[in-house]
Structure 1
Amino acid sequence: MDQNAVFVHAKWQVKEGKLDAVLQLMEEAAEKSTQEEGNLFYNLHQSQEDENMIILYEGYVDANAVEAHRNSEHFKNIVVEQVVPLLENREVVLMNRLF
């Protein structure tokens, strides 16, 4: 992988009773995100201890690809407008690979 690659770690705490809605929305978001030119991967994970905790792990070729993702219509329409209101908490960390 290129040294310019950027990785995103997003930890979401889904509101009680909203998990099914979030997962349904994220199926479409994941499908569209993996079709982006600069996307390397887009993975969703669920905590074994708390089913309402979702972890997204994403990879992009560079910072411009992350910016393009965040400005995409599907990100704004699905994640920002529909998913975020269903979350108790949302933490996002952008990372560079060390080795």
Structure 2
Amino acid sequence: MNASEQIVVVARWHVAQDQVNDVLDIVSTLRQHSLAEPGCLGYEVFRSTEDTGTVLLIERYRDAEAIDAHRNSAHYQELVVGRIIPMLTGRQVELLRA
């Protein structure tokens, strides 16, 4: 695998305070499913110490094909699209290469 093909996803989610724990519970399940994908090389979840409504995800994928597989997976569609996105007050996603 060529390291230059790897893609890092940096997703910053803004969540209403009363829904942060719900989002983090769902993300825990999402993380387990994502790490089981053959193209997922890493999946870390952080919560801001200054703004506890900010959740940062750093995900690493083998290549663009692995990102597509992730986004089209049943667990992504159900958990992210169906449940998490409706709870967010803001969302920024960057795709980066090494």
With the length of structure 1 as denominator, give the TM-score of the two structures: 0.95
d(CA) in 2 for partners of 1:40 and 1:80?
22
Match of 1:80 in 2: 81
What is the root-mean-square deviation of aligned Cα atoms in Å? 0.9
4+ residue runs of structure 1 moved beyond 6 angstroms? none
What's the offset of the Cα at 1:16? Answer: 2.7
**Which 5+ residue runs of structure 1 have no aligned equivalent?**
none
Are 2:45 and 1:44 equivalent residues in the alignment?
A: yes
- Which one-letter code corresponds to 2:40 in the other structure? N
What's the offset of the Cα at 1:24? Answer: 0.7
Task: Count residues in correspondence.
Answer: 97
Kindly indicate which of the two structures has a greater share of residues assigned to helix.
Answer: 2
d(CA) in 1 for partners of 2:44 and 2:81?
18
**Which 5+ residue runs of structure 2 have no aligned equivalent?**
none
What's the offset of the Cα at 1:65? Answer: 0.2
Are 2:20 and 1:22 equivalent residues in the alignment?
A: no
